[in-house]
Amino acid sequence: MASRPRSDRSDRSFTAETVAIGSELLIGGRSDSNSLFIAEVLGSLGIEVKFKSIVGDDRGDIVQVIETAVRRTDVVIMTGGLGPTVDDCTREAVAAATGRRLVRRKEALDGMTARLAQWGRVPNRGQLQQARIPSRAEVLPNPVGSAPGFALRWKGAWLVALPGVPGEMQAMMRGAVVPLLTARLLSSAEQPPQPISRLVFHTWGLPEADVDAKLRGLVPKRSLVELGLLASPMGVLVSLTAKGRCSADHRMLKTLTEEVRARLNDWIFAEGEDSMEAVVGRLLSERGLTIAVAESCTGGLITHRLTQVPGSSAYVDRGAVCYSNQAKIDLLGVPPDLIARYGAVSREVAAAMARGIRQQAAVSVGLSVTGIAGPGGGTETKPVGLVYIGLDGGEGDVLVKEFRFHGDRSVIKQRSSQAALDLLRRWLIERGR
């Protein structure tokens, strides 16, 4: 493959590739999330991530990925393989690819030693290898971990190596990589690149096909604004991305934003980095209300999500996992004959659970969920995925909604928690009108 032409022309956009290193990323059980954060940070600088690679802990394979990446992009951000174990070979691969010797660097060793000392430890033989950095590379300090990173210029591209631990990678991207790229790469352009503007809308309750239908024809042809949809158990994410350098594209982005809000209306529960639980928390706080949750099939997931929000102690009173029928009777006061007549997974029991937890906790609103998460336990009349969510606001203000979810046990639990919080969100919005 021929090398991609490079220049310092001001009209050339900057591109990047992320490389996630680790055999565990290729055999299942673990996914790469670092690239999403890196893409967002680089986008804010006007650097577009064009490629994403994942490679195992093999030095030869990593060398090939590096050689390909530098031919087609300006920035290559590698994560992983900087640890002290035998399978950590990113340093060796970069040295082999670039022809540079590995040299123990004092600043790398001092930073690592100081960090370990804070933890009451001294570097062992394996950790000393982490201070070996390719010659003429810049050492990137790690403010939260022991493994230093590094950056070097090679064949017209910037090669950056960071630890794979998300917290360490994020701190180093903000504290070291952004200043380096701003000073060494972006300053070479006659005009700074336009940041890549990306707006995100989180929806719940509409299948991806329905969201797509509502947004059909939204973005004009030949526009540099791109529309994206991403479905997950937590709903459909809608994104608008403006990659153009022209201010007209960013004005169009603003217009399209208003159109997305109008077309999807209250199916949108949050924008940007907001979450369903954060939105619900704000609404509870604004209205001065408190909540208690009774959970069966979700096993405490709803309460966990609510209490993930800082300050949630102001409105969350308690959560009860009432998995068995006896627990529903003992903890919530659900009448035994109600369960015997309708079954634990029913509208009637969901309503009784919500009422029971509200009365027991003496809170403003009780929220409940009961269902069949599977893979077993379903019947012809009550299949796996059948879920009832109840809400009791007192004085006869009772809501119960039936859902039929699909997916495995984990997915059904996630969808059930999202549906419960969305039911609460809509009730709170209506109550505030």
Domain that holds residue 207: 197-271
Convert the pLDDT of each residue in 240-279 to its tens digit.
988 655 556 667 888 899 999 999 999 999 999 999 999 9
User: Domain check: are 21 and 160 in the same one?
Assistant: yes
At 12 the pLDDT is 59
Burial 178-188 (b: 16+ CB within 10 A, else e): beebeeebbee
User: Domain check: are 24 and 113 in the same one?
Assistant: yes
User: Domain check: are 169 and 143 in the same one?
Assistant: yes
User: Domain check: are 229 and 305 in the same one?
Assistant: no
What CA–CA distance (Å, rounded) separates 166 from 67? 25
Of 212, 242, 271, which marks where a domain is finished?
A: 271
User: Domain check: are 361 and 340 in the same one?
Assistant: yes
| Residue 282 within any structural domain of the chain | no
User: Domain check: are 103 and 241 in the same one?
Assistant: no
What CA–CA distance (Å, rounded) separates 297 from 6? 57
At 11 the pLDDT is 46
Q: 429 burial class (0-12, 13-18, 19+ CB within 10 angstroms)?
A: middle
CATH code of residue 364:
3.90.950.20
* 3-class SS of residue 159: strand
| Residue 226 within any structural domain of the chain | yes
What CA–CA distance (Å, rounded) separates 194 from 13? 9
- Collect the ranges in the chain with pLDDT lower than 70: 1-12, 29, 243-250
At 30 the pLDDT is 77
User: Domain check: are 203 and 236 in the same one?
Assistant: yes
User: Domain check: are 34 and 170 in the same one?
Assistant: yes
Given a contact cutoff of 8 angstroms between Cβ atoms, the answer to whether 162 and 175 are in contact is no
At 254 the pLDDT is 85
| Residue 266 within any structural domain of the chain | yes
User: Domain check: are 165 and 259 in the same one?
Assistant: no
Strands 138-140 and 365-371: unpaired
Of 139, 162, 188, which marks where a domain is finished?
A: 188
| Residue 233 within any structural domain of the chain | yes
User: Domain check: are 173 and 57 in the same one?
Assistant: yes
Of 158, 188, 218, which marks where a domain is finished?
A: 188
User: Domain check: are 210 and 251 in the same one?
Assistant: yes
At 2 the pLDDT is 45
| Residue 201 within any structural domain of the chain | yes
CATH code of residue 216:
3.30.70.2860
* Total number of domains constituting the chain: 3
User: Domain check: are 156 and 223 in the same one?
Assistant: no
What residues form DSSP beta bridges with 19?
53, 78
CATH code of residue 21:
3.40.980.10
Q: Where are the alpha helices (DSSP H) in 99-198?
A: 106-118, 125-128, 166-172, 178-184
